[in-house]
Amino acid sequence: MLFFYSYEHEPVHVHARYQGRESKIELIISEGKVIQLNVLDVKGKKLMAKKQLSDFKDLVSKLSDEIV
Protein backbone atom coordinates (compact mmCIF):
# COMPACT_ATOMS: atom_id res chain seq x y z
CA MET A 1 0.00 0.00 0.00
CA LEU A 2 1.32 3.44 -0.93
CA PHE A 3 0.08 6.52 0.87
CA PHE A 4 0.63 10.19 1.58
CA TYR A 5 -0.39 12.32 4.53
CA SER A 6 -2.00 15.57 3.46
CA TYR A 7 -0.44 18.74 4.87
CA GLU A 8 2.60 16.88 6.13
CA HIS A 9 6.11 18.28 6.41
CA GLU A 10 8.61 18.87 3.63
CA PRO A 11 10.39 17.39 1.78
CA VAL A 12 7.79 15.64 -0.36
CA HIS A 13 7.73 11.96 0.54
CA VAL A 14 5.75 8.76 0.02
CA HIS A 15 5.07 6.01 2.53
CA ALA A 16 4.68 2.31 1.70
CA ARG A 17 3.50 -0.51 3.92
CA TYR A 18 3.77 -4.22 3.20
CA GLN A 19 3.22 -7.15 5.56
CA GLY A 20 3.58 -5.06 8.69
CA ARG A 21 6.73 -3.29 7.53
CA GLU A 22 6.90 0.35 6.49
CA SER A 23 9.36 2.65 4.74
CA LYS A 24 9.26 6.06 3.15
CA ILE A 25 11.04 7.77 0.29
CA GLU A 26 11.86 11.48 0.26
CA LEU A 27 11.96 13.18 -3.11
CA ILE A 28 14.70 15.81 -3.20
CA ILE A 29 13.82 18.57 -5.65
CA SER A 30 16.08 21.19 -7.21
CA GLU A 31 14.92 23.74 -9.75
CA GLY A 32 11.62 21.91 -10.16
CA LYS A 33 13.17 18.51 -10.91
CA VAL A 34 13.55 15.44 -8.73
CA ILE A 35 17.29 14.94 -8.35
CA GLN A 36 17.46 12.30 -5.64
CA LEU A 37 15.39 9.70 -3.79
CA ASN A 38 16.22 8.97 -0.16
CA VAL A 39 14.91 5.74 1.36
CA LEU A 40 14.20 6.14 5.07
CA ASP A 41 12.85 4.03 7.87
CA VAL A 42 9.71 4.97 9.77
CA LYS A 43 10.13 5.34 13.51
CA GLY A 44 8.71 2.34 15.34
CA LYS A 45 8.32 0.23 12.17
CA LYS A 46 10.50 -2.44 10.62
CA LEU A 47 12.09 -1.50 7.30
CA MET A 48 10.48 -3.17 4.29
CA ALA A 49 12.19 -6.28 2.92
CA LYS A 50 14.84 -5.73 0.23
CA LYS A 51 12.67 -6.88 -2.73
CA GLN A 52 9.65 -4.78 -1.75
CA LEU A 53 11.87 -1.79 -0.99
CA SER A 54 13.46 -2.08 -4.44
CA ASP A 55 10.02 -2.28 -6.09
CA PHE A 56 8.86 0.73 -4.06
CA LYS A 57 11.87 2.80 -5.10
CA ASP A 58 11.41 1.83 -8.77
CA LEU A 59 7.75 2.85 -8.67
CA VAL A 60 8.46 6.19 -6.98
CA SER A 61 11.25 6.87 -9.45
CA LYS A 62 8.93 6.24 -12.42
CA LEU A 63 6.13 8.38 -10.96
CA SER A 64 8.20 11.09 -9.29
CA ASP A 65 7.03 13.92 -11.55
CA GLU A 66 3.38 13.04 -10.98
CA ILE A 67 3.95 12.69 -7.22
CA VAL A 68 5.46 16.15 -6.99
The amino acid present at 10, given as its one-letter code, is: E
Looking only at the bridges linking them, the beta strands covering 21-30 and 13-18 are: antiparallel
pLDDT at 50 over 90: yes
Question: What's the predicted TM-score (pTM) here?
Answer: 0.84
What pLDDT digit, counting tens, does each position of 14-49 carry?
999 999 999 999 999 999 899 999 999 999 999 999
Ranges of beta strands (E only) in the chain are: 2-3, 13-18, 21-30, 33-41
